Amino acid sequence: MRIIVAYYSETGNTEKVAQAIHDEAADGHDVRLCKISEITADDLRDYELVFLGAPCHGSDLAPPVRKFLKAAPKSPGFKLAGFFTHATYAPDEYEGGEEIYQRWAGKCIASFETPCQEKQIEFQGYFHCMGAPSPPIEEFIRTKVISSEEQYRSYLSEVRSRPDSKDLHNARAFARTIISKL
């Protein structure tokens, strides 16, 4: 199968996940790994399966990825699976995580699903995990999101190592599942 793993990443977190998905898919398939800036949305027509990745910005997929999806062709031959990284806890990782996740990353999934529905692109599912925030985002979280010093320290000690080897293992498992369905 011809597969492309295309991503946008500012500080390398989403890129690590993209690399893991690529490495899994490369076992038995013809796979290209690239940044979305290196291709046009029309180039996706050359593939049967597209993995598209983004960081979460402002609770949503980063704007360049939303723009890229908006430019995707209608009724193409390819199927699409999404992945994203975010600085907030995933719903199952923290008590009260669901509410925090919805507030800080809650628009990402719909931003994959809605354009796919509009363009009759078969959406296969998504993967997401935490990704270490850059210093200005850490500062934003420190001042605007987590008020308790103790909670902030515990959050930082967790998030700074993400995505970690478990996340990358899970990303590979996700890629395997998607590919095996097709």
Ligand X SMILES: Cc1cc2nc3c(=O)[nH]c(=O)nc-3n(C[C@H](O)[C@H](O)[C@H](O)COP(=O)(O)O)c2cc1C
Report the interface residues with ligand X, using CB under 6 A: 9-15, 55-59, 85-88, 104-105, 131-134, 137
Which CB atom, from 115 or from 131, has the smaller least distance to ligand X?
131
Half-sphere exposure of 129 (CA within 13 A, CB side): 25
Least spacing, CB of residue 2 vs ligand X, in Å = 25
C-alpha 86 chain-centroid distance = 8
Closest to 50 in 3D by CA, of 93, 28, 18: 18
Q: What single-letter DSSP state applies at residue 76? A: -
Which CB atom, from 62 or from 76, has the smaller least distance to ligand X?
62
Query: What does R_g of the chain's alpha carbons equal in angstroms?
Result: 16
- Type and span of the H or E element at 180: helix 165-181
Least spacing, CB of residue 105 vs ligand X, in Å = 5
Least spacing, CB of residue 28 vs ligand X, in Å = 27
Least spacing, CB of residue 180 vs ligand X, in Å = 26
The residue number whose beta carbon is nearest to ligand X equals 131
Instruction: Dig out the tokens for 94 from the structure.
Output: 């923290």
Which CB atom, from 13 or from 111, has the smaller least distance to ligand X?
13
Which CB atom, from 59 or from 177, has the smaller least distance to ligand X?
59
